[in-house]
Structure 1
């Protein structure tokens, strides 16, 4: 959990996408996340987290659907979305904090 704290303790908003290679909608998130990262560049940090390799973290954050996208800003959860999210939705939520 200390690593998670370090991950979200940065000056920019952080987009976390919890995914599994076995879930089709999770795979559809990859180009969306790349688009967000490319569009917003250094103003946002985008991280994919494999639920199969991070079970303790997923339990702590109550990740029950895949994909799940969390957006943190200044250590606080500011947005949560379950299921596929398009880049427009993510960028609209992020724009409130940029």
Structure 2
């Protein structure tokens, strides 16, 4: 995985899904695929496994699953810990274009 600082420093919005690998992931994967398909190259959509990136999750105080964040130019613009539907996530990302 690229360095987190490099990922979030993009001028485009970056939607990140911090998740744990378990049964609900399938729903989130489909949701994120829909979001990525609609946004195209206007934004980045990234999934980060909490278990495989514990230090990063701890540093960002990720306590729940899933936790979504939107970054732009290295700055966190939005954060929510709970399931989100594709339309909600698309609308949120579009606010930061």
Scaled by the length of structure 2, the TM-score of the pair is: 0.92
In structure 2, what is the equivalent of residue 56 of structure 1?
55
Displacement of 1:33 after TM fit?
Answer: 0.6
Unaligned ranges ≥5, structure 1: none
Displacement of 1:27 after TM fit?
Answer: 3.1
How many residues get paired? 96
SS at 2:61 equivalent? coil
SS at 2:17 equivalent? strand
| Cα deviation 1:30-83 (Å, max 9, x = unaligned) | 111101100010001011000110000000000000010000011111111111
Matched-pair contact (CA < 8 Å) for 1:23–1:66:
no
**CA RMSD for the aligned pairs?**
1.4
Distance in 2, matches of 1:23 and 1:72, equals: 27
Displacement of 1:23 after TM fit?
Answer: 5.0
Scaled by the length of structure 1, the TM-score of the pair is: 0.91
Displacement of 1:9 after TM fit?
Answer: 1.1
Name segments (4+ residues, structure 1) moved above 4 Å: none
Distance in 2, matches of 1:53 and 1:23, equals: 17
In structure 1, what is the equivalent of residue 13 of structure 2?
13
Unaligned ranges ≥5, structure 2: none
SS at 1:64 equivalent? coil
Distance in 2, matches of 1:96 and 1:50, equals: 26
